Amino acid sequence: MERCYRHPDVPTGILCQRCERPICAECARQAPVGMQCAHCQIKASAQADTRWRAAADNIPDRALDRRQLDARIGSMNQVGALTQSASVTKTLLITCAAVYLVQFVTRFIASGLLIKWGGFSAILAWYEPWRFISAGFLHSGLWHLIFNMMALYLFGQGLEPLIGHLRFGTIYILSLLGGSLGTIISGYFMVQDLFTMYVGASGAIFGLFGAIFVIQRRVDASNAGLIFLLVINFAFAFIEPNIAWQAHLGGLIAGALTMWIFLLTGSRQRPRKQQRRINWIVAISGFIGLFALSYAMMWLALGLVSFL
178 vs 170: CA distance, rounded Å: 12
Give strand ranges (E) for the chain.
14-15, 22-23, 29-30, 35-36
Contact at 8 Å (CB) between 231 and 244? no
Contact at 8 Å (CB) between 169 and 282? no
Q: Three-class SS of residue 114?
A: helix
141 vs 16: CA distance, rounded Å: 56
102 vs 134: CA distance, rounded Å: 13
Q: Three-class SS of residue 169?
A: helix
Contact at 8 Å (CB) between 42 and 76? yes
257 vs 89: CA distance, rounded Å: 20
The strand pairing partners of 3, in sequence order, are 11
305 vs 308: CA distance, rounded Å: 5
What is the CB-side half-sphere exposure of residue 241 using CA atoms within 13 A?
A: 2
Catalytic residues: 202, 248
| Nearest to 79, CA basis, from 186, 168, 183 | 168
